[in-house]
Amino acid sequence: MEKNLTYKILEGHLVSGELKKGEEIGIKIDQTLTQDSTGTMVYLQLEAMNIKEINTDLSVAYIDHNTLQTGFENADDHEFIKSSAAKYGIVFSKPGNGICHQLHLENFGKPGGTLIGSDSHTPTNGGLGMISIGAGGLDVAVAMATGKYWLKMPEVLNVELTGKLNTWVSAKDIILYILDELSVKGGVGKVIEYSGEGLKYLSVTDRATITNMGAELGATTSIFPSDEETYKYLKSQNREDDFVELKADDNAEYDDVLEINLEDIVPLVAKPHSPDNVDTIENIKGLKVDQVAIGSCTNSSYTDLMKVANILKGEKVHPDVSLSISPGSSKILNMLAENGALADMISAGARVLECACGPCIGMGQAPKNNAISLRTFNRNFYGRSGTKSAHVYLVSPEVAAISAIRGSVEDPRKLGNIMDIDVPEIFKENDNLFVYPPNDRNGLEVKMGPNIKPFPINGQLKEGVDGKVVLNVGDDITTDHIMPSNASLLPYRSNIPYLSKYAFSTIDEDFWKRCEKNQGGFIIGGDNYGQGSSREHAALVPLYLGIKAIIVKSFARIHKANLINAGIIPLEFVDEENYKNIDIGDDLEITNLINELKVDGEVYIVNKTKDIKVKTKFTGSSRDVEILREGGYLNWVKKNFGGIKND
C-alpha cells in the first residue's frame, strides 16, 4: 500500500492497536505543551499521579493566556506552573515570551514528531510536518507521565493545492475558503493532509496559519509535508539539524480528496458568529469598523507583522478605529524593534500589546457596545471578545491593516503591487525568557496559592441514573458557551467552584441555580456540541454542578474526550427527532446503565414526564467504557497503574 504522510508518522509511533479507520490506537508522544489557562489543572493532575519526572522527550509549559495581573490569582498560577515545571523536568516559558504555538514552531517543533497540547490550536505545528494534536488537560498529563496518547484512528482527507495565490490573497484566505467548503463540522474524525504543486509558494508560517485553523474544521489535526520550505524555516531558527524530508508516497491512498486551485481564492472574511460564515471582502466592503486587532497564534508571525508595518508606514489609523497589535513572540518583537517596523506601527497610531494571546482569548481589548471588530484571529464566537453585542469578523492581516487606515472594510487589492518582505535568513536568537529545569530536582516542591482549588473527581458509575433536564440547547454549542472565557473569569481557571456560577451564562444565567436546586441532572443538545477550545473546564464545571450525562445529536472530538475523562456520560440520539421531545424540567431515568454502556451500545432513557422511551447510543472504545465505569480517567489511571511509576 502506498502510504500517506499521516499513516507514516503514526506507524512509526504506534504502541497499541491497528491503523484501521475508527479503531483505537495508542501512539508514543515525543513532546507536550501546556498553557496557563489550562495548565494548572494539568499539573494538579500530574501531582495526583505521583510521578517523579516526565516520560516525553520534551515538555514545555507556556505562560501566554492569563498575563493580565490585576490581582494575585494569575501570578500565583504562574508560580505554581513554574515550580511544577522545575519539579518534573519541564521547560518553562515566562510571561511576555510569546504565544505557545508560535514559540513552539520557532524553538521546538520537529518534522515527523508527535506533539499533544492542552490547547485546541496545537495543530499549528503541523505546518512543520509534525503530528500535533490538541487534547484535554488530563490526556496531556497522562502523556507526560506515560509518554503515550490514545485516539481513534482518523480518516485522512487530502487537500491538494494547485496554482499560486493572487496578489494580496494570503494563507488566511485559504483556510477560510476551506471552512466555507467543509464547515466547522467538516473535519471531525479526520486529519487534513496537504499536498500539491501549490505548496512551494507557501512558507512554513503560511502553513502554520492553515493548520492552526484546522481546529475550526473540527479536525483531529492538519499536516504539511516537510520540504525545502521547512528546511529554510528551521535554518532561519538555527535548527537545521532538526530537519528531515517527509512526504506521502506517490499515489498514496486517502479516504477523500479536496482539490483547490489557489488562483480561485479571493480575499475572504468570516462574519459573526462562526468561522465558517464566510463571504468575500468585496461583498462587505465599506462596512464601518470600530476596532482592529492583529495577532494571535494564527497571524502573528514575522512575515504577517512586516506586511502590516509596510501597509501602515507613513499612514494614520482612522480616528474612529482602535488598532492593537500582538506580536507572536519576543524574538519577533525584538526584530521589529531593530528594523524600524515597530516605529512604523506606533507612528501610524497602533497600540502594541504584550507578546501574548491577549484579545483572542478575551484577555483585554473588549470592543465597545455594538462594535464592529476586525480580527486576524481564529474564532469569532458569540461573546468571546468580552462584549456580547460586538460583531467580530475574521480577516487576514492585509485586510485588517488597510481597513484600520480607511475606517471601513477595504479590499487589500486596492493597494496595487504586492510588497516584497525581506525575511532574514537567520533570526536573532533570544531564549532569555525560557527557564530550563535544574539538573538536580531532588526535594523540589510545588508552590500553590489560595485561589487554586482541587479539581472535582467523579465516583464509580451506578446502575441507575436519574434527574431533571437542566438545559436544552441547539447546534454548534461552543466551549465558550459552556465555560465563558474573558478577562474577569480567566484568573479563576484554577477555581472550579467559582467558575461554576458562570457556566452557560451567555445562554442562560440561571443554569447553575437549576443545577444547585436539582442536584445536577442532564443536558440536551444538538449537533457539534462542544466545538472550539480544548479547555476541560467545560467538562469539569458541569461535573462539579452534578451533570450526569449529556445527550446530543453529535459531539466535537476534544470535548467528548474531556467528558469521558471527567466521568460524564456522552450519549447521542439514535433518532434525532427525539431531541425535540425533551424539555427543560423533564424527569429522565436510565435504569440499566452498566449493562447498556458498551462499545457502540444502545442506551435507553425513560422520559418519565412525557412517558416515552428514548433510544440513544454510546460511541467509544472499550477503554472509554472502562474509564466511564471507574468514574473518569484519573480513577482509571490509579486503578490500572496504581499511581504511575516511571520506567
- Interhelix angle 633-641/622-630, nearest 10 degrees: 100
Q: What is the pLDDT of residues 330-339, one digit of tens each?
A: 999 999 999 9
Cα-Cα-Cα-Cα dihedral sign, residues 467, 552, 490, 35: positive
How many beta carbons lie within 10 A of that of residue 519, not counting itself? Answer: 12
The residue that leads in pLDDT, 111 or 531, is 111
Could you tell me the pLDDT band of residue 361, with boundaries at 50, 70 and 90? confident
Question: Which pLDDT value is given to residue 194?
Answer: 98
Whether pLDDT at 416 is above 90: no
Residue among 431, 458, 438 nearest 629 (CA): 458
Average pLDDT (565-587) is: 93
> How many Cα atoms are found within 13 Å in the side-chain-facing hemisphere of 600?
2
Residue among 452, 446, 441 nearest 646 (CA): 441
Average pLDDT (485-490) is: 81
E strand segments, 42-137: 58-62, 91-93, 114-117, 131-134
Could you tell me the pLDDT band of residue 647, with boundaries at 50, 70 and 90? very low
Question: Which pLDDT value is given to residue 584?
Answer: 95
Whether pLDDT at 404 is above 50: yes
Whether pLDDT at 371 is above 50: yes
Whether pLDDT at 532 is above 90: no
How confident is the prediction for the chain on average, in pLDDT?
94
Could you tell me the pLDDT band of residue 643, with boundaries at 50, 70 and 90? low
Could you tell me the pLDDT band of residue 642, with boundaries at 50, 70 and 90? low
Which DSSP category does 381 fall into?
A: -
Q: What is the pLDDT of residues 32-91, one digit of tens each?
A: 999 998 889 999 999 888 888 899 999 999 999 988 888 899 999 999 999 999 999 999
d(CA 55, CA 549): 33
What are the angstrom distances between the C-alpha of 530 and each of 52, 341, 374, 520, 601? 34, 40, 25, 19, 22
Could you tell me the pLDDT band of residue 254, with boundaries at 50, 70 and 90? very high
Could you tell me the pLDDT band of residue 419, with boundaries at 50, 70 and 90? confident
Whether pLDDT at 573 is above 60: yes
Cell 473588549, residue? Answer: 366
Which DSSP category does 13 fall into?
A: H
Which DSSP category does 364 fall into?
A: S
Average pLDDT (273-281) is: 96
Could you tell me the pLDDT band of residue 644, with boundaries at 50, 70 and 90? low
Q: In what order do the strands lie in the sheet with 148-152?
A: 14-16, 24-28, 148-152
Contact between 412 and 267 under an 8 Å Cβ cutoff? The reply is yes
Instruction: Fold for 268-415, please state it.
Output: Aconitase; domain 3 (3.30.499)
Length of the chain: 647
- Dig out the grid coordinates for 264 from the structure: 480561485
Question: Which pLDDT value is given to residue 203?
Answer: 97
Q: What is the 3-state secondary structure of 123-171?
A: HHHHHHCCEEEECCHHHHHHHHHHCEEEEECCEEEEEEEECCCCCCCCH
d(CA 284, CA 307): 22
Question: Which pLDDT value is given to residue 292?
Answer: 98
Q: What is the pLDDT of residues 426-466, one digit of tens each?
A: 998 888 999 999 989 988 989 999 999 888 889 999 989 99
CATH architecture of 465-641: Alpha-Beta Barrel (3.20)
Q: What is the pLDDT of residues 164-219, one digit of tens each?
A: 999 999 999 999 999 999 999 999 999 999 999 999 999 999 999 999 999 999 99
How many beta carbons lie within 10 A of that of residue 554, not counting itself? Answer: 18
Structural domain spans, the chain: 268-415, 465-641
Domains 268-415 and 465-641 share a fold: no
pTM over 0.85, yes/no: yes
Cα-Cα-Cα-Cα dihedral sign, residues 227, 231, 237, 242: positive
